[in-house]
Structure 1
Amino acid sequence: MKFIIGRDQILAPLQQIVSVIEKRQTMPILSNVLLQASDDQLVMTGTDTEIQIVSKINIESILKSGEITVPARKFLDICRLLPPAAEVSFELQDDKVKLVSGRSRFSLSTLPAEHYPEFNESNYEYDFVLNAGKLKKALEKTVFCMANQDVRYYLNGLLLHVSNSRLKLVASDGHRLSIYEDDIGQATGCESRIILPRKAVQELSRLLDDPEAELNIQFSNNHIKLYYKDVVFSSKLIDAKFPDFSKVFNQSFMSPLLIQKQLLREALTRVAILSNEKYKGVTFDIAGDSLKLSTHNPEHDEAEEELVIDYQGEPLTISFNSQYMLDAVTNLDSEMAVLTIASNASSCFVEEPEQALFKFIVMPMRM
């Protein structure tokens, strides 16, 4: 196996693959990247058995075909630290790989390619095309609400609901919820709900760097596969049912509260400095055209700030986790924020004044 490749050509695909590979592995070969060179193409594969990324690079200088696995992070670090526009000569000699670039020489240990684990995939029932920028935005507006290591494992992921030409993404950690809904741009003829694992969502969000590119998505009940430029991304799915969140919409609400996003964000950040470090609670006192934010902590420190708002409803006092409210407000694209609290004070909708594609729901807390 022997080929010559430009450092700049291999670096980005190698970074994408290494991000999937776990640092601590039960099987040593999972720390390696699989390299397959043949027919003017280098195919690189990385997996943690739950997620797999396959990247294809067209190169003319394949002097000898073959396949081998090399330590992924070491290979990446070597390529990363070489000067830009450098050329790398890659040659397999016995059970070592010799890397030569200019005056630099490296020798890497290898493991046989035939021992590399196969990523078992099912037959894909659904198939549709989506703009990559659309999915990237949908992920950005929902990913921060996913749970992390929750015992309700279905919350450690993201619901992807395809209903013919509509796409809906939902994430929740049980205390807050984000919903993004958009048009796919074509009739898919499919009606399905799947849950993507947390790591797959994060890697996918990192991978989609071209908003103009097209994305071919295939999925079944157990797996999802996405074709993006020269990359094939596959992941297992969470086998569970996402909780029914539709009830939160079917209730009566108080008058909406309109406020400048930036003012609310800055005031919340300041007041939260003196909140209880564990609970991060901030109290909202809403009356007329005034919103008073206040907080205190066990050390008897207190903070208070008053803001001008547009509100026609009844006076109200309610408390929220300041970080949850900040995350929701920060993720709005508009200059104004609309807060709508349920009549029974069980939830607060945070959205934009115009009909936006997304909305956030934050549950109140007892102070």
Structure 2
Amino acid sequence: MSEERTASVSSEQGAEPQGKMSLPVGWEARVCANGRVYYVNTKARTTQWEHPLTGEISKIEGTDAQLQTGDGNDNKIDEQTLSSAVVEGKGNVDIISKFNSYSTALEVMAGKDLTGKYAIVTGSNCGIGYETARALALHGAHVVMACRSVDRGEESANKIRAEKDSVKIRVMQLELASLKSVKAFGEEYKKTNWPIHILILNAGIASVPFSLTEDGLESTFQVNHLGHFYLTLLLEEVLRRSSPARVVSVSSRGLQLSDLKMSNVSESKLSSPDASSHSRFSTYNKTKLCNLLFAKELNLKLARHGVTANVLHPGGFISTNIQRHWWLSKVLFVMTKPFTKTVEQGAATSAYCAVAEELEGRGGFYFDNCQAAQPKSEAAVDPELAREVWKLSEKMLNDRGHSV
């Protein structure tokens, strides 16, 4: 049974006062000197204005509603310091994983029976996506391999079928660099009337030269973030009907090097409009931060509907096709190969987020080596930045006739 804490609070939008406000285990409610309520995730060591279940922003009215925890000084926090407020603790100590950087996706899945579960894995014709789809399918899940090339997707699917002829796999075309293609995928999937219990947003590109998609957006941003953002919105109702469902976003530790923040976030910052403002590495890192911010905000919006979202770092410089676009990336990947994970190990954290029993009903976390972690980035725990990236992403879709 979850813990409960109570407070007499009312919504800033003028809603009726709430007499009782239930919080998930690991969350605490605190109050600023001006009466604004904020919520502390004692496991992730983060704070936010929104209630973790309802998403409401509240304020205490009157002097009879005291809401304090800790040593009594926490309630003096003001709005300017909220984003940097943390609580004492050792991280997500109640998420106990027996897996590590040496684990493989198949080891994570060992003993799991996913019969009756439906999963979508983007970019699954090769690399980490392939190993993730393979592990899911070999353990009974009905897997949709969402690939840019159907032919290459079928070749990969046939390799899995050769291992076990009873696997259930369907290859569907998805070109994330085309909003039209993303919409077509969403519509085609809905026609199947299948549920979605696991949605793994794995596809991505890195170190590509500057180019614009057919939608007029910088290609790395659209493929790595906006295409997946749009896909998830298109499939939101299916996810909610499939509850409990999980959305797993593959990010990168490189997000910690991004310079994206509230003081510079804009549509042009997210999607560089010309080559002069484009950097291969910084653009990739920016999109990986967007992946994390999207997962955090998505979890906030959908957790109360039984849809949780988590985000992960698969491992650095894993030898996949992601390095194929630039000679320097190829050199770096070759040089670091003896010290990095195999592709099978790189897929382990995706598999863990998709099936781990201890994550049932839990979201908003960042994982590294199958362990809950805290990214070393202030931007990564900025709820205001997450909301702004979401708002700008919606605007980009709306401006191009793809509102959801």
Higher strand share: 1
Superposition TM-score tier, normalisation by shorter sequence:
under 0.3
Q: TM-score, normalised by structure 2?
A: 0.22
Which structure has more relative contact order (CA 8 Å, sep 6+)? It is 2
Q: Which has the higher helix share?
A: 2
